[in-house]
Amino acid sequence: MKPIFNVPGCGAYAMLMGIISGYPIGAKIVTNFRKDGMCSKEECERLLAFTNNSGPLFIIGTVGITMFCNSLIGVLLFITHLLACLTVGILFRFWKANKTSCHTSYSNNTLKISNTNVSFSNLGEVLSSAISSATSTILMIGGFVVLFSVILSILENSNLISVISSALEPIFNMFGITNNSFVSGFVSGIIELTNGVQKITAIPCREISTNIILSALLLGFGGISILLQVFSITSKTDISIKPYIIGKILHGIFAAFYTYIFISYFPIFNLNI
């Protein structure tokens, strides 16, 4: 982790869990690192930029098998998502490389040393705390999904999505995407990931590579809903949200680029009719 990503070895746990578990577990683990003083502020910001990702269950299971009805597409999207994640991590090794703050813990705006030992005597307390934290995270994720689904519905019924889509159409036309449905699906995905990807995968198109590449871009970025989920977690520490935003924009771009490369140069992944 240190020579490649310029972060401590414990960052491997955040990266692995972020890949396996999906949003926003990576951000929660990185935030805990900062609270416990395991990483400096700059190291946590580097980690945050590339360890909070979509998980294989969502990409392969939900997007690939359920939405595209093709497991191969799910595998392709997961491979390119992972490659983009690693690329962003390598780029962010230079984030504030010459500046390093202390590794003391950060909690409730006060720096202090944290040291918790788990033993049989306090096992019940630890388990209770873990279950409460997990339940709180699940409720938060569900709440954000519901909230942004409602916001998206309001924007669609008020025709604001159509207005934004019309403004973005010239940009999509530059890339040869003339179907306006892709633009509205993309805008929806920027707001709330699942709804946007579902709309894009449902668009009938002979060149299904367009559907796949746009889905890869949205999966990499994550959407405003997930951005605010992450912000609600990191706001409890001194970790800046700026590197995360930059990292997710780059993640989406790299994921779309790698997907285009795989579809163009690996016949097994070219599913265009």
* Total domains in the fold of the chain: 1
Residue 103 lies in a domain: yes
Residue closest to 76 by CA, chosen among 200, 251, 258, 248: 258
- Read off the pTM: 0.85
- CA separation for the pair 74, 48 (Å, rounded): 24
Q: Is a pLDDT exceeding 50 seen at residue 108? A: no
Residue 113 lies in a domain: no
Residue 12 lies in a domain: yes
Angle in degrees, 0-180, between the axes of helices 71-91 and 41-51, rounded to the nearest 10: 160
Residue 104 confidence (pLDDT): 59
Q: Is a pLDDT exceeding 80 seen at residue 105? A: no
Average pLDDT, the chain: 86
Residue 73 lies in a domain: yes
Residue 116 lies in a domain: no
Residue closest to 98 by CA, chosen among 6, 226, 35: 6
Residue 220 lies in a domain: yes
- Domain range enclosing 223: 2-107+124-269
Residue 36 lies in a domain: yes
Residue 194 lies in a domain: yes
Residue 38 confidence (pLDDT): 87
Whether the CB-CB separation of 260 and 80 falls below 8 Å is answered with no
